Structure 1
Amino acid sequence: MRSLVLCLLLAGALATPASRKPTFRRGLNKIVGGTDVTPGELPYQLSFQDNSWGTEFHFCGASIYNENWAICAGHCVQGEDFDNPSYLQVVAGENNIHIDEGNEQKVTLSKIIQHEGYNGFTISNDISLLKLSQPLTFNDFVSAIDIPAQGHAASGECIVSGWGAVSEGGSSPSVLQKVSVPIVSDDECRDAYGQNDIEDSMICAGVPEGGKDSCQGDSGGPLACSDTGSTYLAGIVSWGYGCARPGYPGVYAEVAYHVDWIKANAV
């Protein structure tokens, strides 16, 4: 089942650029239009990996909520074994995904909680929680990211990061990437995608001319904003039409919509 789901997601991710089919951003392929992240610059970023085939396969990003829990996208765990996900791991302190730089902490999962309202067809409530089998040790390279108050409306420039594609269907550099994108209003996002496609549980970010965005392989990773005066997790990389296309901002699960759910379940 897991292999089938992964193949279907990859098939959607690698669709022709002319396609206007919404695609999840889980897959093999990085941030578009971004720059390298220095070690320790984004200590909340996680690489979410499958190690069941004897190799460590990065397929999604995630964010550190606290020492024992991570926040990810719902579609990243679709089809997984929620009660026994020991074949999955997160890597904290990762920068160059192909080199052991000495700051990494690899921890297998002990449990997955997917939002009970997640819908893989309308991409509603695209959020999950990953329980770690042992706590992370916080240091200069590994630490949690704040979450906003329930209902907070993010604004301004935000940072999206990940190890996903540098162009639609393109290659993947080894070093963690970041790019700055502004929050787009719900009205603007609905004008782009359709009035019924952008739900209250979603938030959008991007530039009108395109060229800056998350892409396949970035799914589940953080959209971090700082309009409150401190950095917090505003969104979770979810979906979009291709990557970085003009007129189509990236669509994220809105964390402020799910704060009460996170606090009730990450215990």
Structure 2
Amino acid sequence: MDRKRKHLVRIGAGVAAGLGAVALVWTGVAANAEEPAADDFETKIVGGEPAEEGQYPSLVALGHAGAGTPFERQFCGGTVITETVVLTAAHCLEVVDSPDDLVVFSGSVDLDSEDLVETTVADFHLAHDYNEPVDLANDWGLILLDEPVDAEPIDVGTEPEEFDVLETAGWGNLGDDTYPSVAQRLEVPFVGDDDCEAAYGDEFDAQTMLCAGDLENGGIDSCDGDSGGPIMADKDGELILVGIVSWGHGCAEAGNPGVYAEVADFNGAIDDVLEDWS
């Protein structure tokens, strides 16, 4: 079975080589959305184009604590949903033994920027039903920070089928095994549940997952290192969070859309954890 798109988490310098973790991609499945024409999208290689400072104020990077630059230590993305809580993928957190081993980078889309702020972690939580009923179902987790981050919390959406086009951003593989210091951004079309199930069979769970990408041509997608980051939709001129970069087969391959954890399915569970942490 081809599980290549269950991307390996990008491990930076100074990190133990034994962390063979899965890092994935998120994309949106709109149950009834009409797929836009491929010409409507800038079909660049994986990673799209550089994000501008302030374009995604809720976007943060997850990194391993310890020696090395932020660029070397970054391995996943995340999204600020309260001033002290980051939403990310469970598969990003399952490689972390202790909150002391994890940090969050915020304040800039450039991991080499002098404006980047490193924040330590007080606690983290993996979804209790992660990997149920199938592998990578309920692929979400929360990070409680020791102090507020220099970021703007994003509103969490509930109806992804309302949107035809999604945006995703992160520091993942550009498609040629290179990684940018500046976050890349990309627009991708929804892929319906039926088409996603046709691509992935019983690996796809329509209740907890969404899909997005160019089914016919490929060429646009999230990739290794983008895991845990956001996929967003424009609602009345404001971006809202609809999913989390989770998994897929390969990167930007025709016929294999990106798969994303569907935030609308676990809003209530997130609220329960936030209440426990308050």
Q: SS at 1:219's partner residue?
A: coil
The equivalent of 1:89 in structure 2 is 103
The equivalent of 2:226 in structure 1 is 218
Letter of the 2:148 partner, please give it.
P
Structure 2 CA distance for aligned equivalents of residues 40 and 171 of structure 1: 24
The equivalent of 1:241 in structure 2 is 249
Q: 1:27–1:164: 8 Å Cα contact kept in structure 2?
A: no
Matched, 1:144 2:153: yes
Structure 2 CA distance for aligned equivalents of residues 53 and 105 of structure 1: 15
Alignment of 1:38-77 (within 5 A): 38-53=52-67, 56=70, 57-77=73-93
The equivalent of 1:32 in structure 2 is 46
Structure 2 CA distance for aligned equivalents of residues 106 and 159 of structure 1: 25
Q: 1:122, CA displacement in angstroms? A: 1.0
Structure 1 CA distance for aligned equivalents of residues 120 and 237 of structure 2: 33
Matched, 1:207 2:220: no
| 1:55/1:87 CA distance change after superposition, 3 Å | farther
Taking only aligned residues, the RMSD between alpha carbons, in angstroms, comes to: 2.2
Q: Name which of 255, 259, 264 aligns with 1:256.
A: 264
Structure 1 CA distance for aligned equivalents of residues 247 and 102 of structure 2: 22
Structure 1 CA distance for aligned equivalents of residues 182 and 47 of structure 2: 14
Letter of the 1:78 partner, please give it.
E
* Deviant stretches of 4+, over 6 Å: none
| 1:152/1:249 CA distance change after superposition, 3 Å | closer
Aligned length: 239
Q: SS at 2:252's partner residue?
A: coil
Letter of the 1:164 partner, please give it.
G
The equivalent of 1:116 in structure 2 is 128
Structure 2 CA distance for aligned equivalents of residues 78 and 175 of structure 1: 26
| 1:95/1:211 CA distance change after superposition, 3 Å | same
Q: 1:264, CA displacement in angstroms? A: 1.3
Q: 1:88–1:108: 8 Å Cα contact kept in structure 2?
A: yes
The equivalent of 1:20 in structure 2 is 2
Q: 1:213, CA displacement in angstroms? A: 0.2
The equivalent of 2:112 in structure 1 is 98
- Return 227-236 or 213-222, whichever deviates more: 227-236
1:148-185 deviation per Cα after TM superposition (whole angstroms, max 9, x unaligned): 13x65352111111000110x52112211000001111
Gaps of 5+ in 1: 1-18
- Return 128-137 or 66-75, whichever deviates more: 128-137
- Return 53-62 or 26-35, whichever deviates more: 26-35
| 1:211/1:54 CA distance change after superposition, 3 Å | closer
Structure 2 CA distance for aligned equivalents of residues 160 and 122 of structure 1: 23
The equivalent of 1:125 in structure 2 is 138
Gaps of 5+ in 2: 12-24, 26-44
Structure 2 CA distance for aligned equivalents of residues 89 and 154 of structure 1: 34
Structure 1 CA distance for aligned equivalents of residues 148 and 230 of structure 2: 20
Structure 2 CA distance for aligned equivalents of residues 78 and 228 of structure 1: 36
Structure 2 CA distance for aligned equivalents of residues 63 and 231 of structure 1: 12
Q: 1:25, CA displacement in angstroms? A: 3.7
Q: Which has the higher contact order (CA 8 A, sep 6+)?
A: 2
Letter of the 2:251 partner, please give it.
C
Q: 1:161–1:218: 8 Å Cα contact kept in structure 2?
A: yes
